[in-house]
């Protein structure tokens, strides 16, 4: 592979912004320096002062393979991801069939080979009866084990208390949880149905999938993790109330030990709030629900300051337009996000609420550290050259530019002040700001554990 030299970039890495050049050789970052002289074999890219970031690592996506490929597939959704500056993804097990044993897991890795535009890891799922498979899981084979402690898309609810306890006791990898208490939600839904009959609307979603449901379930997950010393990562925190349940300290303590209980929030909880249901309805219906403006502000603050929220991700969960146009009760939950997640997060930088370094920390460094991802997530010599070049040039999201198979975005019509000018995966430019280049170049993620 010829070498690439990116010159006059403004790097954002490990808490710093600095001017530098960066050379890529054999798929990896060979050198970072204030000035690197070009060699004849270098393909020189003039960055012109644009921002060069490590590619984002999304620890929560639903790319729908196998079995739900009318909504999206690994090729289409990973294409959208790299166009958005996301170079690695960790995909959820609520597919058809669900990923409940090593055979299903390896079948998914086989599906991704040669078709994924970004680097890929697949979670192992949990159910009320797959404890043996969980015990047998090779910790290097998956980023973690996903436990639905609340029912959502797919029938993967784990609600048997003994099974839940055993999973937390015996998991050989980090556990990641969807925390919403299903009995609370069922009771809320019954009360709304009694009052409104069939006339339920998306505006009611945050009261049906209520904050109490989130708090109760998150408390349970944390108590189980404390009891067993489990490494627990609670996904998609959506309420201000849950923030108080987590350790506000950094991911690594002074003695080098990593926090064992961590939290993630998602881009849509930072961009939308209850006031947006009137305009967007089912298009922002997701689980957990987007809640109040005060929750949104508290989540942004938690991301900006300290370590209460360790990771930013998407929960990219595409459904077709046809599915989303159904009445509230039948419309599935979830929205496509990967293509505009980074620029949506950077909008908070333009608003003065978050620093670029903090976006990179939560969306690239932290997921790599938390899941022991080998040699990715940082601009470091010797690491894989997964890079994104960001230009502060406004653009407006149009439906015709959406690469996700579902063909729509909750951000249509939104003007963002930054755009993704280029993305490199394993040292090769796969997105030039306008189109995909070449063929998919993603590799299976490796976990150093
Ligand atoms: O909104 C959601 N959509 N939440 C989930 O937990 C699942 C996801 C999906 O797969 O559609």
Distances (CA, A) of 321 to 76, 290, 330, 409: 16, 19, 13, 10
Q: Ligand 1: which atom is nearest the Cα of residue 318?
A: 11
Specify the pTM: 0.98
227-242 mean pLDDT: 98
pLDDT at 2: 80
10 Å CB burial of residue 33 (0-12, 13-18, 19+) is exposed
Rounded CA separation 69/63 (Å):
8
pLDDT at 45: 98
Q: Of 344, 288, 324, 290, nearest to 407 (Cα)?
A: 324
Res. 1 pLDDT band, cuts 50 70 90: low
**Total count of residues recorded for the chain:** 449
Contacts of 281 (CB under 8 A, 6+ apart): 201, 202, 328
Rounded CA separation 148/155 (Å):
9
Contacts of 400 (CB under 8 A, 6+ apart): none
pLDDT at 238: 98
> Which of 332, 405, 410 most suits a substitution to test ligand 1, by most atoms within 8 Å of the C-beta?
332
Q: What is the pLDDT of residues 8-55, one digit of tens each?
A: 999 999 999 999 999 999 999 999 999 999 999 999 999 999 999 999
CB-based pocket (< 6 A), ligand 1 = 62, 94, 152-153, 178, 286-287, 317, 332-334
The pLDDT of residue 101 is above 80 = yes
**How many angstroms does the Cα of residue 315 sit away from the middle of ligand 1?**
7
**Phi, psi at residue 257, to the nearest 5°?**
-75, 145
Q: Ligand 1: which atom is nearest the Cα of residue 332?
A: 11
**Top CATH class, 55-370:** alpha beta
Say if residue 103 is preceded by a cis peptide, omega within 30 of 0. Answer: no
**Phi, psi at residue 333, to the nearest 5°?**
-95, 140
Which of 315, 372, 392, 401 is flagged as catalytic?
A: 315
315 is catalytic: yes
Please report, for the chain, the start and end positions of each structural domain, with discontinuous segments joined by +.
Answer: 55-370
**How many angstroms does the Cα of residue 317 sit away from the middle of ligand 1?**
6
Res. 329 pLDDT band, cuts 50 70 90: very high
Q: What is the pLDDT of residues 376-426, one digit of tens each?
A: 999 999 999 999 999 999 999 999 999 999 999 999 999 999 999 999 999
- The residue nearest atom 4 of ligand 1, judged by CA position, is 287
E strands within 243-325?
261-266, 311-313
> Which of 286, 336, 337 most suits a substitution to test ligand 1, by most atoms within 8 Å of the C-beta?
286
**How many angstroms does the Cα of residue 400 sit away from the middle of ligand 1?**
24
**How many angstroms does the Cα of residue 398 sit away from the middle of ligand 1?**
24
Q: What is the pLDDT of residues 345-363, one digit of tens each?
A: 999 999 999 999 999 999 9
Q: What is the pLDDT of residues 263-305, one digit of tens each?
A: 999 999 999 999 999 999 999 999 999 999 999 999 999 999 9
pLDDT at 47: 98
Rounded CA separation 380/376 (Å):
9
222-244 mean pLDDT: 98
Q: What is the pLDDT of residues 44-100, one digit of tens each?
A: 999 999 999 999 999 999 999 999 999 999 999 999 999 999 999 999 999 999 999
pLDDT at 160: 93
**How many angstroms does the Cα of residue 410 sit away from the middle of ligand 1?**
15
Residue 71 · residue 64 · CB < 8 Å: yes
Q: What is the pLDDT of residues 107-152, one digit of tens each?
A: 999 999 999 999 999 999 999 999 999 999 999 999 999 999 988 8
Question: What is the CB-side half-sphere exposure of residue 289 using CA atoms within 13 A?
Answer: 24
The sign of the dihedral angle between the CA atoms of 305, 306, 307, 310 is positive
Q: Of 36, 133, 12, 63, nearest to 316 (Cα)?
A: 63
pLDDT at 295: 98
**397: DSSP letter:** -
Q: What is the pLDDT of residues 158-190, one digit of tens each?
A: 999 999 999 999 999 999 999 999 999 999 999
For the chain, give the percent of residues with pLDDT over 90.
97
> Which of 333, 406, 410 most suits a substitution to test ligand 1, by most atoms within 8 Å of the C-beta?
333
Contacts of 141 (CB under 8 A, 6+ apart): 102, 105, 106, 124
Q: The tokens of 107 are what?
A: 């079948």
């Amino acid at each position: 592979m010829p070498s690439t030299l990116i010159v006059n970039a403004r790097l954002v890495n490990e808490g710093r912004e600095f001017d530098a050049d960066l050379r890529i050789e054999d798929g990896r970052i060979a050198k970072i320096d204030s000035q690197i002289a070009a060699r004849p074999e270098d393909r020189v890219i003039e960055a012109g002062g644009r921002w060069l970031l490590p590619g984002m690592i999304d620890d929560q996506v639903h790319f729908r393979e196998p079995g739900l490929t009318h909504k999206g597939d690994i090729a289409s959704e990973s294409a959208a991801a790299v166009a958005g500056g996301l170079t690695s993804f960790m995909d959820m097990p609520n597919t058809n069939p669900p990923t409940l044993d090593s055979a299903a897991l390896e079948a998914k890795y086989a599906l991704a080979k040669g078709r994924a535009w970004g680097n890929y890891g697949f979670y192992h799922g949990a159910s009320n009866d797959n404890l043996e498979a969980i015990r047998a899981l090779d910790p290097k084979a998956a980023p973690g084990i996903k436990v639905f402690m609340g029912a959502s898309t797919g029938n993967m609810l784990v609600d048997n208390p003994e099974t839940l306890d055993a999973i937390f006791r015996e998991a050989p990898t980090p556990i990641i949880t969807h925390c919403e208490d299903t009995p609370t939600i069922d009771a809320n839904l019954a009360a709304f149905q009694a009052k409104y009959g069939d006339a339920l609307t998306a505006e009611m979603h945050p009261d049906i999938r209520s904050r109490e449901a989130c708090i109760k379930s998150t408390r349970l997950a944390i108590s189980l993790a404390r009891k067993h010393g489990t490494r627990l990562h609670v996904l998609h925190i959506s309420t201000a109330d849950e923030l108080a349940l987590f350790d506000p300290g950094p991911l690594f303590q002074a003695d080098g030990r990593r926090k064992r209980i961590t939290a993630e929030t998602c881009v849509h909880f930072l961009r939308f709030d209850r006031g947006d249901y009137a305009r967007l309805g089912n298009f922002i219906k997701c689980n957990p629900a987007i809640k109040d403006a005060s929750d949104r502000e508290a989540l942004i603050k938690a991301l900006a300051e300290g370590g209460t929220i360790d990771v930013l991700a998407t929960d990219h969960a595409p459904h077709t337009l046809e599915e989303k146009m159904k009445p509230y009760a039948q419309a599935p939950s979830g929205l496509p996000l990967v293509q505009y997640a980074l620029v949506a997060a950077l909008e908070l930088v333009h608003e003065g609420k978050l620093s670029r370094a903090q976006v990179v920390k939560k969306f690239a460094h932290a997921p790599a550290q938390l899941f022991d991802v080998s040699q990715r997530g940082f601009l470091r010599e010797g690491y894989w050259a997964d890079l994104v070049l960001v230009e502060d040039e406004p653009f407006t999201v149009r439906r015709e530019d959406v690469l996700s198979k579902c063909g729509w975005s909750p951000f249509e019509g939104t003007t963002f002040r930054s755009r993704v000018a280029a993305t490199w995966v394993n040292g090769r430019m796969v997105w030039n700001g306008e189109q995909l280049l070449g063929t998919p170049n993603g590799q299976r993620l490796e976990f150093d554990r």
